């Protein structure tokens, strides 16, 4: 018998979820899975010495693949290995959305998974029957569902989800997998809800759902209250991370030789996954990628180093060996960008340089998260310090008419719910506030249509 554990790092202490037991005939399959995960870096942590622990803590993933990357062989793997439903996995024999009751049931399934831990609903898989004749939750056959027009069906589902849930949700993944003719398996990838809990609002339903290992249920008052308090806790935890990191860096506890005058910070926090091991720093291709892409200022080289927090690229000034720029990735996927190169010396802040740094950092974030499969949503925090006597100067050597007059500027968090956003457009509200702090109308680098016109600095 071959036994191994699948672990989840929802908390700092890994929590055992499922104990799989394979007969000798399945050993080859299990070994192949481990080798594939290690090779592709789909698993987050592999204990090869024990041939044992895999961390899969990403929502919308199966076998280390995101929902839209699954193929038919993955679907048959569920059946061949008699995988059972869980909080994160639901099998449906049919897709029913034609009647009002069917639509309510569909939305209830989506809402329940979204309000729990996220996961995948797979339409077109039949479950084995138990001794009582009821569905056992174990995948037994791939029957598929009949879809005449794939695009039309997906549009209908997307419209139903967008208009039948409150708050609206546009972050689901719909992945049709072709079997033959008009027969498909439909995989719906559902993210964990980080903000307000999802309520089924279709046709006046107005109900919250949650999910256990055996299916969805209506939570009681205490359960609904926990949904709301969890959302607040996640946001508070993200803000606490920002404050703690600022204190550690500014007090020189993080780096003893850092130049803290005029500190600039951008913190990026994947919501709901702080403490999870999202980034595998024992995988050489990941490190090679970070050495080329983890940077604060484009074109500025840096020195790499591992640390307790994760991995850092930093730059020391040649004249005094002080660190004035670094980019840090944490093991849970958080990012921290730091510099003070936007300060021209008293009494100026170089507005265009700071704006370029902000947008470059956000571009880097989107690139890194895309490559390392760190899923949205996440929040971006911008923090500036030591501005009390400074004015803003631009490339034309025009300067603001007013001193900023703030020891620190802690901008409100900016929510990012997908990786396809325009960095310049998404950061415009924050950049406008920065320029307005110097008594200007807003950023001078956007035209009337809101398009960013980058300038050299």
- Residue 442 is assigned to a structural domain of this protein: no
Pair (418, 373) in one structural domain: yes
Query: Last residue of a domain, which of 219, 244, 262?
Result: 219
Nearest CA among 173, 54, 77 for reference residue 120: 173
245 near 384, Cβ under 8 Å?
Answer: no
Is there a contact between 14 and 55 (Cβ–Cβ < 8 Å)? yes
Domain boundary among 9, 35, 56: 56
pLDDT at residue 41 greater than cutoff 80: no
Domain end call among 219, 253, 269:
219
What is the pLDDT, as a whole number, of residue 32? 38
Rounded to whole angstroms, the Cα distance separating 430 from 414 reads: 8
Give residue 373's pLDDT.
82
Question: Domain with 205 in it: what CATH number?
Answer: 3.30.950.30
**Nearest C-alpha neighbor of 85 from the set 175, 171, 18:** 18
pLDDT of 60? 83
Token pair 């972050």: residue: 171
Task: Average the pLDDT over 308-316 and give the result.
Answer: 95
User: Quick one: 67 and 183 in the same domain?
Assistant: yes
Of the pLDDT bands very low, low, confident and very high (cuts 50, 70, 90), residue 183 is very high
Distance separating alpha carbons of residues 431 and 424, to the nearest angstrom = 9
Its pTM surpasses 0.75: no
Are 334 and 407 part of one and the same domain? yes
pLDDT of residue 70: 95
Tokens linked to 30: 């299990």
Ranking 16-30, 123-137, 261-275 by mean pLDDT, the lowest is 16-30
Instruction: Say whether both 119 and 46 belong to one domain.
Output: no
Q: Quick one: pLDDT at residue 265?
A: 98
Number of domains in the chain: 3
Of 117, 288, 323, the closest CA to residue 216 belongs to 117
- Residue predicted with more confidence, 417 or 444: 444
Residues 212, 268 share a domain: no
Distance CA 113, CA 106 (A): 11
Q: Residues near 340 by Cβ (< 8 Å), separated by ≥ 6?
A: 259, 260, 261, 262, 263, 264, 324, 325
At 398, the pLDDT band (50, 70, 90 cuts) reads: low
Using CA atoms, how far residue 294 sits from 264, 303, 334, in Å, is 16, 11, 12
pLDDT score of 5 more than 60:
no
Query: How high is the pLDDT of residue 194?
Result: 76
pLDDT at 454: 78
Q: Is the pLDDT of residue 254 over 80?
A: yes
pLDDT at 401: 61
Q: Are residues 193 and 333 in the same domain?
A: no
Do 107 and 13 lie in one domain? The reply is: no
- Where does the pLDDT of residue 169 fall: very low under 50, low under 70, confident under 90, or very high at 90 and above? confident
pLDDT class of 100 with cuts at 50, 70, 90 = very high
| Domain of 197, in residue numbers | 58-219
Q: Which pLDDT band, with edges at 50, 70 and 90, does 184 fall under?
A: very high
Residue 175 counted as domain residue: yes
pLDDT at 391: 87
CA distances from 233 to 194, 236, 237, 274, 452 (A): 10, 5, 6, 12, 35
Share of the chain above pLDDT 90, in %: 61
Q: Are residues 357 and 294 in the same domain?
A: yes
Dihedrals phi, psi of 193, to nearest 5 degrees: -75, 125
Give the whole-angstrom CA distance, residue 138 versus residue 130. Answer: 9
pLDDT digits (tens, 9 = 90+) for 348-397: 888 989 999 999 999 999 999 999 888 888 999 999 999 998 988 876 55
């Amino acid at each position: 018998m071959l036994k191994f554990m699948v672990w989840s790092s929802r908390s700092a202490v890994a929590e055992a979820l499922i104990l799989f037991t394979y007969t000798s005939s399945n050993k080859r399959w299990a070994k192949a899975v481990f080798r594939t995960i290690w090779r592709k870096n789909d698993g987050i942590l592999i204990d090869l010495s024990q041939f044992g622990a895999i961390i899969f803590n990403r929502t919308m993933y199966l076998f280390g693949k995101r929902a839209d990357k699954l193929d038919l062989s993955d679907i048959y793997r569920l059946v061949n290995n008699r995988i059972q439903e869980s909080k994160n996995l639901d099998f449906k024999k049919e897709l029913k959305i034609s009647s009002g009751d069917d639509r309510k049931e569909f939305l209830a399934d989506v809402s329940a998974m979204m309000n729990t831990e996220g996961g995948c609903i797979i339409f077109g898989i039949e479950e084995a029957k138990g001794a009582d004749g009821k569905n056992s939750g174990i995948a037994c056959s791939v029957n598929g569902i009949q879809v005449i027009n794939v695009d039309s069906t997906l549009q209908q589902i997307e419209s139903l989800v967008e208009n039948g849930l409150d708050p609206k949700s546009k972050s689901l993944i719909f992945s049709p997998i072709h079997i033959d003719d008009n027969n498909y398996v439909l995989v719906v990838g559902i993210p964990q809800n980080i903000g307000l809990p999802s309520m089924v609002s279709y046709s006046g339903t107005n109900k919250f759902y949650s999910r256990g290992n055996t299916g969805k249920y209506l939570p009681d008052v205490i359960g609904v209250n926990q949904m709301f308090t969890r959302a607040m806790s996640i946001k508070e935890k993200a803000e606490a991370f920002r404050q703690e990191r600022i204190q550690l860096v500014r007090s020189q506890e993080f780096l003893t030789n850092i130049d803290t005058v005029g500190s600039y910070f951008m913190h990026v926090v994947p919501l709901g996954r702080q403490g999870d091991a999202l980034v595998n720093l024992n995988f050489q291709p990941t490190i090679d990628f970070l050495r080329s892409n983890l940077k604060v200022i484009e074109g500025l080289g840096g020195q790499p180093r591992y640390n307790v927090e994760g991995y850092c690229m930093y730059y020391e000034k040649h004249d005094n060996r002080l660190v004035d720029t670094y980019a840090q990735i944490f093991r849970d996927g958080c990012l921290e960008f730091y510099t003070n190169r936007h300060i021209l010396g008293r009494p100026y802040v170089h507005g265009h340089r700071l704006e370029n740094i902000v947008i470059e950092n956000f571009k880097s974030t989107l690139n890194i998260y895309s490559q390392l499969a760190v899923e949205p949503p996440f929040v971006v925090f911008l923090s500036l310090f030591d501005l009390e006597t400074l004015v803003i100067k631009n490339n034309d050597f025009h300067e603001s008419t007013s001193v900023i007059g703030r020891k620190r500027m802690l901008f409100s968090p900016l929510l990012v719910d997908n990786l396809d956003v325009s960095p310049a457009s998404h950061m415009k509200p924050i950049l406008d506030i920065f320029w307005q702090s110097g008594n200007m109308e807003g950023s001078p680098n956007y035209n009337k249509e809101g398009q960013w016109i980058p300038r050299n600095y």
